[in-house]
Structure 1
Amino acid sequence: MTNPDPLIVTTVEEAVASEKPPSVGRLLTFIFPATLGLIALFQGIQQILIPSQVAQLDPAHKVGVLALMTTFVAITSMIGIPLGGALSDRTRSRFGRRTPWILGTGVVSSVLMIAMGYSGNLVLLAVLYTALWLTSNMYQGAVTALLPDRVPEARRGLAASIIGLATPIGLLVGVAVAGAAGPFWGYVIIALVVAVTALLLVFGIREESSVDLPPQPKRESGTWIASVGHFLHAFADHDFRLAFISRFFLSLSYATATGFLYFTLSDYIGTENLPGHSVTGAVTIVDVVLVIGWVAIATFGGWLSDKLQRRKLFVGIAAVGLAVTMFIPIISPTWTGILVFALFAGIFIGTYFAVDLALMSLVLPDKLSEGRDLGILNVATGLPTILSGAVAGLLITFAGGYAALYVFGAICALISGVVVFFIRKVR
């Protein structure tokens, strides 16, 4: 039966489609710094602040403690991203669907970071770290949902590449700030960046009220197993599953090889072989080189994928290229070898993430749950980042030391590159 009044909106999908979004340029102007702040949070804490705090509080067991802590926060990371997207999908407020969650989780994350700066024991640090990863990943879930909300499909390659540039730059900012400012002020400065960029985002691209949007269709109540099954319903889609698997293994490859960079440089390359005998300074230099490779290719890759309307080709070649790159530190376990590795890793990672976000947005099976489903796909990035600590700890301890990280990374990247070519509905 057709709607007798064309002005009446009857579904969430029609309502969202009827909103007039801000221009893509304006959207990216504000979403870029918000994403940058979030990446600075993740990388500054993971690469510098947490390892240095753990090493200070328990130097004898630093590898095991760090691996245990990152295993704990893996659970909240896995829950937080899709939860942020799903809750924002269902939110009805005069401020819109995404805004309340972006603002709320951004501010709470900033408060938790400052509290971590005051933490003087491992138990409290672990509790705050876990809580932070829940709120910051919920923040990511709500922010990422803006891409399918506001960007036309034909321009998603360019949009994804520009948003993707926030990752290497945010990494550089986070590591540089954490390294220069130290544990307390590092947390404080990054917390302020996250809070300010969240405020700029919600006020710069104001959402229309969602109060009058019809609620999402209700489903019949059932067991908690049925609830989980409903939440993960997107995995029934063939292309969604493969996209998740490809991103998961690529992210696990990269995160495992670089997540213990602080200890890799100090123990594998040797502190005496680093510039100025400074591990923190060496981490910053490696990240700068990686960012140079990433930035040099990212925007061009996204633009070209839009031009050719080819996503899988770029993503697959980048993943296989990263697999080959993983052998450089094994062949040349030197400071020079690490720098060459960082450059090529940046080029291939930049190519991958310049196009991958656009590909992810094109395999979402349900228009009404794009925030939730894109959040689930983002778990394939966030979860490996956290799990990499436990994986790396096991590889270093039981599987041949730091060189094993790169062998494992090569295998994972190759799996990612092969799997993506089996996606059907995206070229």
Structure 2
Amino acid sequence: MRYGTEWFLRLSAYWFATSFKWFLVLLVLLPAKVAELSPPEEKASRLGFLFGLGAVMAVLGPPLVGHLSDRLGRRRPFLLWGSLLTALALFLLVHAPSYTLLLLAYLLLQVADDLATGPYSALIPDLVPKGARGVASGYMGVLQVSGQVLGGAVGFLLPLEVQGYLAGFLNLLGAGLSLKLIPDRLANPAERTLCAALAAPWRDRDFLLVYLTRFLVMLGFYLAQTYLQYYLADAVGTFQAGGRTLAQEPFQAVALLGLLIALGAGLASVPAGRASDRWGRKPLIYLSGVGLGLLMPLILLFPRYDLLLALALFFGLFYGVYLAVDWALVTDVLKDPRAHATEMGLWQTAIVLPQVLAGAFGKPLDLLNARGEGLGYLVLFLLAGSFFLLGTFLVAPIRKAR
């Protein structure tokens, strides 16, 4: 099979839609809806609880659905039904009239996303040879950050309800493009029992190290992202650059920062993926993790919106390198070709579990900020930087990747 740009883009089209959706939900829609439906003094705690509970529900989803997909030898039905339920959940979320109904809509969104992306995450190891996985991951990274670029523009320009409608439409469109490339059935369905399939990857030292690396980096990312809108409102206040006001509301300001992060990541992703196929994954992971870690104290030192705009672009460049390489890194260490969806589903919990911990930080953030002005945000960003650095250097002992 000849792998070209069009094929790679269609393969990862649903990642574009997923990235667009989660950018808006986590960075714009959910914080804004929680603030609308909650007392001001409880907004961070309620947002943290919402993220934490939704993430706990999502921990079991990817590996369980992935194992079912492996056993059935099917990927298509999961992506189809998961994308349909996702569109429904987005509609319910933007029209939720109370915090309780917002919570239920968000949980449905988590379950629907797991149903679709658990099996979908296995497509690169399923369909792409090892020597091209860095390129495939690079294109996937470009589509992910392109979704974030569009999400930043939409979050800045359009009302919240319209953002939800557009996310649902693109979700269905992306699924339709990716579905056409998925084989109807896998050649070798899995035969392991659920318990055996879930236990096997943890006996592999390299898989465990890759998991911990992803876990720590994403913990740093979600700590910084989850409460960024509140940091802008409480610590920055005005959103000006060059003497001009660029945003009136915190959700607009955070969307513009997210847009710059995504632009930087888009510039770095494909070149980083190609470089990782040629030179190895580890050097690029080191570069990205150190860069992300060192940027966190700068956010605290320069709480000015014009300077944060520049920092956001550099953050995006380092994050784009990481996005392009870490997916290829985990596919390098997978052992059982018949269990790709199960193992990738387990690995995806390294994204979900950090959301639980980041959500749990909501209450301490409120308490620390109440004890000293900006104390909670100081602890928040220093922890994020520490996790970026720690996660980076755990790739050093991995044997199946260079």
TM-score (norm 2): 0.91
Unaligned runs of 5+ in 1: 1-20, 220-226
Q: Shift of the alpha carbon at 1:82?
A: 2.1
Matched-pair contact (CA < 8 Å) for 1:74–1:383: yes
Larger deviation: 117-126 or 281-290?
A: 281-290
Any idea what the Cα deviations from partners look like across 1:81-118, whole Å, max 9, x if unmatched? Answer: 223322221224xxxx1111111111111111112222
Selected match of 1:56 from 36, 46, 50 = 36
Q: Shift of the alpha carbon at 1:24?
A: 5.2
Give the aligned partner of residue 28 of structure 1. Answer: 8
Matches of 2:200 and 2:363, distance apart in 1:
33
Larger deviation: 81-90 or 162-171?
A: 81-90
Q: Shift of the alpha carbon at 1:184?
A: 2.3
Give the aligned partner of residue 16 of structure 1. Answer: none
Letter of the 1:47 counterpart: L
Letter of the 2:61 counterpart: G
Give the aligned partner of residue 289 of structure 1. Answer: 260
Cα 1:216–1:285 shift into 2, 3 Å: closer
Q: How does 1:94-243 map to 2 (within 5 A)?
A: 97-203=74-180, 205-210=181-186, 215-219=189-193, 228=195, 230-243=197-210
Matches of 2:360 and 2:267, distance apart in 1:
32
TM-score (norm 1): 0.86
Give the aligned partner of residue 279 of structure 1. Answer: 250
Q: Shift of the alpha carbon at 1:29?
A: 2.4
Matched-pair contact (CA < 8 Å) for 1:90–1:215: yes
Any idea what the Cα deviations from partners look like across 1:334-367, whole Å, max 9, x if unmatched? Answer: 1133223212211111111111110010111222
Give the aligned partner of residue 396 of structure 2. Answer: 421
Give the aligned partner of residue 222 of structure 1. Answer: none
Give the superposed CA RMSD. Answer: 2.1
Cα 1:218–1:77 shift into 2, 3 Å: closer
Cα 1:364–1:152 shift into 2, 3 Å: same
Matched-pair contact (CA < 8 Å) for 1:396–1:402: no
Letter of the 2:382 counterpart: V
Larger deviation: 178-187 or 405-414?
A: 178-187
Structure 2 SS opposite 1:355? helix
Any idea what the Cα deviations from partners look like across 1:285-334, whole Å, max 9, x if unmatched? Answer: 211221222122211111111122x1112112211221111111122121
Cα 1:214–1:137 shift into 2, 3 Å: closer
Selected match of 2:336 from 352, 356, 366 = 366
Matches of 1:214 and 1:285, distance apart in 2:
46
Q: Shift of the alpha carbon at 1:50?
A: 1.0
Cα 1:144–1:22 shift into 2, 3 Å: farther
Give the aligned partner of residue 8 of structure 1. Answer: none
Matches of 2:210 and 2:303, distance apart in 1:
33
Letter of the 2:183 counterpart: E
Any idea what the Cα deviations from partners look like across 1:203-250, whole Å, max 9, x if unmatched? Answer: 2x141445xx5653254xxxxxxx556523211110000000001101
Matched-pair contact (CA < 8 Å) for 2:152–2:259: no
Unaligned runs of 5+ in 2: 370-374
Letter of the 2:221 counterpart: Y
Give the aligned partner of residue 353 of structure 2. Answer: 383
Matched-pair contact (CA < 8 Å) for 2:293–2:384: yes
Matched-pair contact (CA < 8 Å) for 1:298–1:350: yes
Larger deviation: 264-273 or 172-181?
A: 172-181
Structure 2 SS opposite 1:420? coil
Matched-pair contact (CA < 8 Å) for 2:239–2:248: yes
Matches of 2:158 and 2:192, distance apart in 1:
49
2:212 pairs with 1:245: yes
Selected match of 2:17 from 29, 32, 37 = 37
Cα 1:218–1:359 shift into 2, 3 Å: closer
- Number of aligned residue pairs: give it: 392
Selected match of 1:65 from 46, 50, 60 = 46
Selected match of 1:75 from 48, 56, 66 = 56
Structure 1 SS opposite 2:361? helix
